[in-house]
Chain A
Amino acid sequence: MNSLLVYLTISIVLFVLGLLAMMTRKNAVSVLMGIELILNSAGLNFVAFSRFSTGNLNGQTAAVFVIIVAAAEAAVALAIFLNLYRLKATAEVDQADELRG
């Protein structure tokens, strides 16, 4: 509304919350939600800079691509979760630890 700083702060909060979800949630779908939060924060950043800093619409166009990528990523991620669920009978990411050293 009034300044870039406010939007950037909201975006940081979303980003950090998304990271937190990615790190702490055991359910794969919840991790995905965290990723969506991060993508939203990135989109918000793009749009905010487009509005206040660059004076053109390149940022908004980039945000369109962010949404596209998010859609593609969600579809593939859910397909992977389905496989994980069938393989392990659970969707908890900490069960998938075949690569333990």
Chain B
Amino acid sequence: MELLRHIIFWLFAVLTVGSAVVVVFHPRVIYSAFALLFTFFGVAGLYVFLSADFLAAAQILIYVGGILTLIIFGVFLTAKITTLDIPHQTHQRYVALVPIVMIAAGLFTVVKNTVWPTAPLPHHPTTQVIGELLLTKYLVPFELASILLLAALIGAMRLARYYRKRED
């Protein structure tokens, strides 16, 4: 049983990282977008292993259902669609490796050498507790987040409509 859990965990880890690599390096946008789908799934799976059931569900609902759809819309709306082979080019690929390697090495060293405090979380459903937190301790950020979403909604509509009116 323990072995099975290990195997599944590593499957999710490999799925996450592997599909993230595809997102970054695949030459076709659509493939990248779908690889992103798997990354999101992988992260959701990792959330499950971290006993964050609510977040895993939210991750799938919002990321896969909302954000990814938006992204795919974005791909279609910003390209002249003839086939699904919309390429996306890259530049400064090798220069970029320098800071990337530095940051990765630095972060990893920090993570490895720091002694993190340990206070494990007991396993039980989190939804109720998160809900209570959102309506008590985090009430103000929560309400602000609503306002942010509203502002983003209106702002996005305003931005997207402006030129259409001029074109008509």
What residues on A are CB-neighbors of B33 within 8 Å? 29, 33
If A12-B104, A15-B107, A53-B117 touch, does A61 touch B153 (CB 8 Å cutoff)? no
Q: Note all chain B residues with C-beta closer than 8 A to A26.
A: 88-91
Asked if A23 contacts B5 (CB within 8 A), the reply is no
Q: Which residue of B lies closest to A89 (CB)?
A: B80
The listed residue (B46, B66, B74, B162) touching A32 by CB distance below 8 A is B74
Beyond A28-B78, A43-B43, 17 additional pairs, beta carbon < 8 A? A12-B111, A18-B20, A24-B91, A26-B91, A29-B74, A30-B88, A33-B32, A36-B63, A53-B119, A68-B148, A75-B70, A78-B73, A78-B160, A82-B77, A82-B159, A82-B163, A83-B162
Q: Tell me if A47 and B47 are in contact (CB < 8 A).
A: yes
Establish whether residues B134 and A79, one from each chain, have CB atoms under 8 Å apart when the complex forms: no
Q: Do the beta carbons of A40 and B43 come within 8 Å of each other?
A: yes
Q: Are A69 and B148 within 8 A (Cβ)?
A: yes
Would you give 28 A-B contacts (Cβ < 8 Å), ordered by A?
A: A1-B49, A5-B112, A10-B17, A10-B46, A16-B100, A17-B21, A19-B100, A23-B92, A23-B100, A24-B96, A26-B90, A27-B88, A28-B74, A33-B23, A33-B36, A51-B52, A58-B137, A61-B133, A61-B134, A61-B138, A63-B52, A65-B141, A75-B70, A75-B153, A76-B156, A78-B70, A79-B157, A81-B78
Given A26-B90, A63-B52, A68-B145; A17-B20 close (CB under 8 Å): yes
Is there an interface contact between A40 and B39, defined as CB atoms closer than 8 Å? yes
A64 touches B119 (CB 8 A): no
Interface residues of A in 21-56 (CB under 8 A from B): 21, 23-30, 32-34, 36-37, 40, 43-44, 47-56
Q: Does A20 sit at the interface, judged by CB under 8 A?
A: yes
What is the size category of the interface that chain B forms with chain A? 35 or more
Q: List residues of chain B with CB within 8 A of the CB of A86.
A: 163, 167
Does B79 sit at the interface, judged by CB under 8 A?
Answer: yes
What is the bound-complex CA distance between A83 and B78, given in angstroms?
9
B102 to chain A, nearest CB (A): 10
Q: How far is the CA of A26 from the CA of B86 in the complex (A)?
A: 12
- A63 touching B90 by the CB < 8 A rule? no
B52: chain A residues at CB < 8 Å are 47, 50-51, 60, 63
